[in-house]
Amino acid sequence: MKKTLSYIFSALLLMSIVSCKDFLEVKPKGVILPEKLSDYGNILNSLTMTQTFPDALLFCTDDFYGEYSPIDPSMQANMFLWRETIDINDQVSPIIWGQLYRVIYDANVIINNAMKATEATDQQRKQVLAEALLVRSDAYFNLLTAFAKAYDPATAAKDPGLPLVTSSDVTGTAPQRSRLQVTLDTIINNTIQAAQHLPVNNINRYRGTQAAAYGLLSRVYLYMADYPNAAKYAELGLKMSHELLNYNSYTTIRAFPVTDLNPEILWQRASSNYAVPGQLLYSDDLKTYFNSSDLRSLLTFTNAKGLNRATPPGRANFGITFQELYLNAAEAAARDRNVPKAMGIINDLRKKRIKTADYQDLTASDPETALVIVLAERRRELAYSGQRWMDMKRLDKDGRMTEVIRIDKKTGAVLATLKPHSKQYTFQIPVRVRTFNPDMEIN
């Protein structure tokens, strides 16, 4: 059977055509071709290109507790129990894969055509192209954390990565999976290229900036355990004007600035699922990281069937925040044995999160203690931010993940176990993709 890109993109072209009719002209042959630069800007503003975080990646983390029957076939249960096949129905667009390759398709439309756009300067064209490169890189990275092994420099040249699709012609032949090192090199190189032409500020937080590119680079390098580069790009991103909210100034999370005005958000990425993370329960393990002095628990815990996540007004953010960059820099410092720098960053953050009357600086006498403190602070600060699965994979590779157990609290039965270095840290290529691409390498 011929391998086609149409099932890499999950047969979503028709939806793209329908959604674009309001601002694109239809050509005589029935093909919709963007012409003006504003057309490409509208694509970047679309739900497809702003709601790019796959909410499925929240359900497989140790942050989350759910109540699922062992025979529950839902996506949420499949992710929660780390089942090899996560799709409920192989006749529809596959979970995570279909959504993100649709994002990649729209990004490729811009990347391949924006430099020919009318009613724009060359600099404006390059900026829009750079924004598409950034969104595509982020999509590839989320795909990689789901469907490829954790990065190991010793095996990355052989481990399978992702099909790197650069064409917007879905009738062409689908590429084979690149190697993991090639996938990551492509993400990094494209993001560095994007940073050269991205603006310092953009029209809203969903649109890419130079600092957003630096933030993504810091995240990717942290995943790869390249701590010097993770720190380098975190510090570059932190040069952008910003501030951290002082939680002592708030009595309810509803008083926080709305998402689009929140000074902590560097690059906004939303999910199409409006219920996350607000209706997700905290795991018992995650609850142990908070105490009564921590304003994050007082402001973000709600009581509905147990503690679950309250969210600030506006759409939940799963993109890049300034506190993430501080935490990246702190972890890099601890791993570089720079204890004073690591603890200084952590305490500067904690001062804005802990009740003023109860606050005391944390101290560490050695790099390992500092790293443990940094990672615990990361767990608290970035809970349900969309990064925990990435963190679990890289920390498991580092030997820092303990066994995660899913238990039915009503019966005490063990439903599933995620052991250290388990193959379950990598989900299988979806059945629908393999059906239409039978030669595709599987995990």
DSSP letters spanning 107-146: HHHHHHHGGG-BSS-HHHHHHHHHHHHHHHHHHHHHHHHH
- The identity of residue 282, as a single letter, is Y
Q: Domain check: are 86 and 184 in the same one? A: yes
Domain housing 438: 1-197+406-443
pLDDT digits (tens, 9 = 90+) for 161-180: 999 999 887 677 789 999 99
Cβ distance 263 to 257 under 8 Å?
yes
Q: Is the peptide bond before 277 cis (omega within 30 degrees of 0)?
A: yes
Residue range 273-278: mean pLDDT, rounded: 92
Q: Domain check: are 128 and 101 in the same one? A: yes
| CATH, residue 394 | 1.25.40.390
Q: Domain check: are 18 and 56 in the same one? A: yes
Is residue 258 exposed (0-12), middle (13-18) or buried (19+ Cβ within 10 Å)? exposed
From start to end of 261-413, where are the E strands?
A: 265-267, 281-282, 301-303, 307-309, 320-321, 404-407
Domain total of the chain:
2
**What pLDDT was estimated at residue 28?**
37
Q: Domain check: are 96 and 152 in the same one? A: yes
Q: Residue 299 and residue 250: Cα distance in Å, rounded?
A: 8
Q: Domain check: are 238 and 271 in the same one? A: yes
**What pLDDT was estimated at residue 5?**
56
Residue range 141-155: mean pLDDT, rounded: 98
- The identity of residue 269, as a single letter, is R
Q: Domain check: are 22 and 117 in the same one? A: yes
Q: Domain check: are 169 and 265 in the same one? A: no
Query: In the chain, what are the helix, strand and coil shares in percent, each to the nearest 5?
Result: 45, 10, 45
Q: Residue 375 and residue 334: Cα distance in Å, rounded?
A: 10
Instruction: Kindly list the distances between the CA atom of residue 423 and the CA atoms of 268, 397, 428, in Å, as whole numbers in the listed order.
Output: 31, 12, 10
Lowest-confidence segment of 143-152, 193-202, 299-308 by average pLDDT: 299-308
Lowest-confidence segment of 16-30, 198-212, 268-282, 366-380 by average pLDDT: 16-30
Most confident of 8-17, 24-33, 163-172, 356-365: 356-365
Which pTM was predicted? 0.93
**What pLDDT was estimated at residue 172?**
73
pLDDT digits (tens, 9 = 90+) for 222-259: 999 999 999 999 999 999 999 999 999 999 999 999 98
DSSP characters over 38-50:
HHHHHHHTSHHHH
Q: Domain check: are 273 and 351 in the same one? A: yes
**What pLDDT was estimated at residue 173?**
78
Closest CA to 114 of 130, 125, 103: 125
- The identity of residue 421, as a single letter, is H
Q: Residue 8 and residue 101: Cα distance in Å, rounded?
A: 6
Evaluate if residue 3 carries a pLDDT over 60. no
**What pLDDT was estimated at residue 12?**
41
Lowest-confidence segment of 121-125, 149-153, 189-193, 431-435 by average pLDDT: 431-435
DSSP characters over 58-102:
HHTSTTEE----TT--SHHHHHHTT-S---S-TTSPPTTHHHHHH
Q: Domain check: are 205 and 241 in the same one? A: yes
- Mean pLDDT, the chain, rounded, equals 91
Q: Domain check: are 181 and 303 in the same one? A: no
Q: Domain check: are 176 and 203 in the same one? A: no
pLDDT digits (tens, 9 = 90+) for 192-231: 999 999 999 999 999 999 999 999 999 999 999 999 999 9
Q: Domain check: are 141 and 240 in the same one? A: no
Give the model's confidence band at 32: pLDDT under 50 very low, under 70 low, under 90 confident, else very high: low
